[in-house]
Each structure stands twice: as C-alpha cells, then as structure tokens.
Chain A
Amino acid sequence: AQKITQTQPGMFVQEKEAVTLDCTYDTSDPSYGLFWYKQPSSGEMIFLIYQGSYDQQNATEGRYSLNFQKARKSANLVISASQLGDSAMYFCAMRDGEAAGGTSYGKLTFGQGTILTVHP
C-alpha cells in the first residue's frame, strides 16, 4: 500500500531564506506521481508542484522546486526566498499507479503535513 511520511510537524524560516520540507514515500508501483499542496488557514488545497516517477529532471515552478531522489524514495519541497504569505500547512501526496483490472484512477494519498511559519 502507498504511504507518505512527513516527519516535520512544524518548520520555521526567516523571510527571504530558503526552506526544505521533507517527504518520503513507499510504493511498489513503478509508475507514480508526487505532488505538493499548500493549505492556508482558509482550508483550500492549492497545487504547487508535480513530479512523475519517470521524469529525469527535478520539477520547478517559480520559487518551488522538488528535490526528487528516487533511490531514497524522497521528494522534498524546496521553497526559495520565503515570503510571509508562505506561512501555511504543506502536504506531500502520491498518486496511485494502475489499479487491478487495468482501470487506472488518480487516488491521492496524503502525508500528515508540515506547518511552515515564516518570520519577518
């Protein structure tokens, strides 16, 4: 069964500094996808970045980059030049591979999340 582990319940960073949020995963599927979402206190999950298991290069989206180490089964999120508005809960999630019988679907399995606080 798929499993996502986020070992940092909370992280603190100074404004304009970079921060790394850790995520490890476990799956037996050769094909999978890894996602990071941001959840402000309002509750809405905001998509940040995606990494496919066969992607050769680490994904980047603006100030967000994903440090994908397939052999170690880790997919850490790096936020550069932190801003006060980055303070939120961050979730790592993994998408299932092919389901039995050939019908694939995109169930997401989420970690427990990391609360990021950016200090001025």
Chain B
Amino acid sequence: DAGVTQSPTHLIKTRGQHVTLRCSPISGHKSVSWYQQVLGQGPQFIFQYYEKEERGRGNFPDRFSARQFPNYSSELNVNALLLGDSALYLCASSQQGWETQYFGPGTRLLVL
C-alpha cells in the first residue's frame, strides 16, 4: 500500500511570494495534519483536517491556510513568505485524526 505522498519534495521561493504544498493521505485515511519542522527542532503542529473540516489549528499566523478535498488530499498555503518560513513541512494522515499519524517524506522549503 502506498504511504503518504507529498509534493513537491523541494522548493525555493523568495520573500513575499506564495507557496502551495500538497499531500495525499494513505488510502482509507480521512484525516490530514500539517507540521512545520525548523532545522534542529521538533515538528510544530499547524493544522488538522478531518472530512474537509478544520479540526485544530496551531499557533501560526493567518498567512498559513489549508484545505482538504473530497478525496481527502490536502493543500497547505503560505502567503507573503518570510525567511523564517524556511523549514521542512510534514504532512501526516490517520483514519480519523485521533489515531497514530503516519508521515510523508516532507517538502523542504527554502525562502531567500
């Protein structure tokens, strides 16, 4: 069975630009969570979605937004990029959100 997939794998943007990251969950999983991992730190929770509804939101500015589609895939959008947004963005899926979360390979974003 395919695991969680994310695209793109790497991305380079400049300050002020917009970025969209994509995630496809494991087949049968209806919940997707997004995390930001800055170099040298543990991942920080950004959003969780279940059945297209936002279930939870971490302490991130409104420049960060996300959505989940009917096929349970998800997009994370970041507007007005800052240098500090450079990080590994991880997507995780679970059946309903409460259970074990399985992570994708991540998208490495570099903001110049």
Residues of A within 8 A of B48 (CB): 105-107
Residue of A nearest to B50 (CB): A105
A103 within 8 A of B: yes
Please provide the chain A residues from 1 to 26 with a CB less than 8 Å away from any CB of chain B in the complex.
Answer: 4
| Interface range, B side | 20 to 34
| Interface range, A side | 20 to 34
- Given A106-B98, A107-B33, A91 contacting B42 (CB threshold 8 A): yes
Residue of A nearest to B105 (CB): A44
A108-B90 Cα distance, complex, nearest whole Å: 12
A109-B85 Cα distance, complex, nearest whole Å: 19
Residues of A within 8 A of B102 (CB): 47
Q: How far is the CB of B95 from chain A (nearest CB, A)?
A: 10
A4-B45 Cα distance, complex, nearest whole Å: 14
Residues of B within 8 A of A44 (CB): 103-106
Most buried by B among A45, A46, A108: A45
Residue of B nearest to A50 (CB): B100
Please provide the chain A residues from 35 to 54 with a CB less than 8 Å away from any CB of chain B in the complex.
Answer: 35, 37, 42-47, 50
* A45/B97 in contact, CB under 8 A: no
Per-residue CB contact flags for chain B residues 26-66 toward chain A (1 = under 8 Å, else 0) read 00000101010000011111001010000110100000000
Residues of A within 8 A of B55 (CB): 103, 105
